[in-house]
Structure 1
Amino acid sequence: MGAVYFYHLTRQPLEATLPMLLEKSLEAGWTVAVRGTDLGRMDWLDQKLWLGPEEGFLPHGLAGGPNDALQPVLLTTGPATNGPDCLITIDGADVAPDEVNALQRVSILFDGLDDQAVQRARVQWKTLTDAGCSAIYWSEESGRWQKKAEKIND
């Protein structure tokens, strides 16, 4: 049974934080799906990942291609077709309790400077923990990532 990690972004933007989490996930040997809510935003993110540092290349693809199932990191707005071990959601994308329980990890990244995003994350925390999912809340407010809250459900 997996857990859901909430990442409250206040200092670094998504395009700086996401590659760090993707690298750690790939180092763990996981296949990853990144789920968003808008195709244009996912295309933008795809371009940002391609333009990253050469020594930090992150193998990935944008959903809709012929090799989606083979992608180590798949950017999508729908169900993951690459058999992920880890799901990372952005921009308030939905995640269901059964997904959390079926995966090694689910990470929810949200913009701490956007009141609607913070409210959406609070609703997701309550919904998922009420459904029995374990959750950990991380904040970078101090300048480094710190665990601020944890709810472990058995």
Structure 2
Amino acid sequence: MNGVDTDTPTSGKERSQVGFYHLTRTPLAEALPKLLERSLKTGERSVVRCPDATTLAGLDKAMWSSSVCLWLPHGHVYDGDEAFQPIWLACDDAVPNGARFLFRVDGAGGEDLTGFKRVFDLFDGADPQSVTRARERWRAAKGAGHELAYWKQEETGWRQAG
């Protein structure tokens, strides 16, 4: 109808590139807008899966006030027009904007990652439980045959490690 494929991306069988982003220097609300800005520059749409409505509201606010760029075009269920949003914030597994990039906040959402070109799994390095859960997700993604990468924050930015 509007030219945007709104099928859930999990219908395909291809493997995703899954990057685990270990937040050690900046909070999520500061790190995520920078990563989303880079994804927009590639021309890809993104969906950000949040573990709860409080996180979603905090990220929505952070994206409006981010110093990274002038504006990060995004929306969420309370805004509507999901098919037109290049970045969609959600607390469920829906992908109404046809996104091929998935940003998972501390593993939010289901485990089926197929159909996404890239998955960014962001987790808090200061929270031992978050790190343990990220290790479990790593093993699951590896077992599913996804291409994995581990990214660690350093003073000058992200560095692929291990």
1:27-66 pair list within 5 angstroms: 27-53=41-67, 55-66=69-80
- CA distance, structure 2, for counterparts of residue 55 and residue 9 of structure 1: 20
Structure 1 residues 10, 127: CA separation in 2 closer, same or farther (over 3 Å shift)? same
- CA distance, structure 2, for counterparts of residue 66 and residue 74 of structure 1: 10
**Are 1:144 and 2:152 counterparts?**
no
**Are 1:120 and 2:133 counterparts?**
yes
> Mind listing any 5+ residue stretches in structure 2 that lack a counterpart?
1-14
Question: Deviation at 1:54?
Answer: 8.3
Q: Residue type matched to 2:100 in 1?
A: D
Determine the structure 1 residue equivalent to 2:111: 96
- CA distance, structure 2, for counterparts of residue 112 and residue 129 of structure 1: 20
Structure 1 residues 54, 118: CA separation in 2 closer, same or farther (over 3 Å shift)? closer
SS class of match (2:157):
coil
Of the three residues 12, 15, 27, the one matched with 1:13 is 27
Question: Deviation at 1:90?
Answer: 0.4
Determine the structure 1 residue equivalent to 2:8: none
Question: Deviation at 1:135?
Answer: 0.7
- CA distance, structure 2, for counterparts of residue 85 and residue 51 of structure 1: 25
Give the superposed CA RMSD: 1.7
Retained in 2: the 8 A contact 1:11–1:143?
A: no
User: What do residues 38-70 of structure 1 show as CA deviations (whole Å, max 9, x unaligned)?
Assistant: 012101110111112384310001224330121
**Are 1:87 and 2:102 counterparts?**
yes
Question: Deviation at 1:143?
Answer: 5.0
TM-score, length-normalised on structure 1?
0.88
Percent identity, aligned pairs only?
38
TM-score, length-normalised on structure 2?
0.84
Structure with greater helix percent: 1
